[in-house]
C-alpha cells in the first residue's frame, strides 16, 4: 500500500515548495476571497441602502420646505384675519355698544317686572288679611305703583335702544353696499 507521505515530496522534492507557496500566498488568497464575497454581496446592498437613504432625505427636505411654505401662508392668513378683525371692531363698535345697552336694558326690564309681580302678590296678600291697617294697604299700593313705573321707563329706554340698534345696522349695511 502506498502512503501519502511517501509520494508527497515528489521527484524533485517539490512538496515543500508547494506547502510553503500555499502558506505564503494563503493570506492573499483568503483576502481576495473575502473581497470577492464582500463585493458580490455587500457592495450592492450598501449601494441600494445609500441610494434609498439619499432619496428618503431628499423627500424629507421637500416635505420640510412644503411645511415651511404652508406655515408662512397660515401666518399671512392669520395677520390678514387680525387686521380685518381690528377694522371690523372699529367699524362696528357703535353697534356693539348699542347691543350691550339693549341686553342690559332687557335684563333691567325683566328684573323690574319680577319685582312688580312680587309687590302685587304682597299687596293681594295684605288685602286678604283682615288685620291689615289701611295705612299699610296705602303704603303697599304706593310701592307697587313705583315698581310699575320703573318697567315702563325701562321699556321706553329699550325702545330707544332698539331704534338706535336698527339705525346702526342700517348704516352698516348701507356702507357695505
Q: Residues 64-89: pLDDT tens digits?
A: 999 999 999 999 999 999 999 999 88
pLDDT value of residue 120: 81
Which pLDDT value is given to residue 22?
79
Whether 55 has a pLDDT exceeding 90, the answer reads: yes
pTM exceeds 0.85, yes or no: no
Assign 176 a pLDDT band (cuts: 50, 70, 90).
low
Amino acid 74: pLDDT: 97
User: Over the stretch 111-158, which tens digit does the pLDDT of each residue have?
Assistant: 888 888 888 888 788 778 777 777 777 777 777 666 555 555 555 555
Average pLDDT, the chain: 79
Cβ–Cβ < 8 Å for 158, 109: yes
Q: What is the mean pLDDT of residues 38-55?
A: 86
Amino acid at each position: 500500500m502506498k502512503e501519502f507521505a511517501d509520494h508527497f515530496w515528489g521527484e524533485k522534492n517539490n512538496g515543500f515548495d508547494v506547502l510553503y507557496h500555499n502558506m505564503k500566498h494563503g493570506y492573499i488568497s483568503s483576502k481576495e476571497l473575502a473581497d470577492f464575497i464582500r463585493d458580490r454581496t455587500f457592495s450592492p446592498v450598501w449601494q441600494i441602502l445609500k441610494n434609498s437613504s439619499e432619496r428618503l432625505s431628499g423627500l424629507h427636505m421637500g416635505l420640510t420646505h412644503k411645511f415651511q411654505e404652508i406655515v408662512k401662508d397660515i401666518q399671512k392668513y392669520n395677520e390678514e384675519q387680525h387686521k380685518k378683525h381690528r377694522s371690523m371692531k372699529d367699524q362696528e363698535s357703535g353697534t356693539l355698544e348699542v347691543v350691550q345697552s339693549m341686553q342690559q336694558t332687557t335684563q333691567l326690564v325683566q328684573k323690574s317686572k319680577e319685582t312688580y309681580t312680587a309687590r302685587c302678590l304682597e299687596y293681594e296678600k295684605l288685602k286678604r288679611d283682615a288685620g291689615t291697617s289701611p295705612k299699610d294697604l296705602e303704603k303697599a299700593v304706593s310701592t307697587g305703583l313705583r315698581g310699575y313705573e320703573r318697567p315702563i321707563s325701562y321699556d321706553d329706554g329699550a325702545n330707544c335702544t332698539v331704534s338706535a340698534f336698527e339705525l346702526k345696522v342700517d348704516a352698516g349695511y348701507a356702507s357695505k353696499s
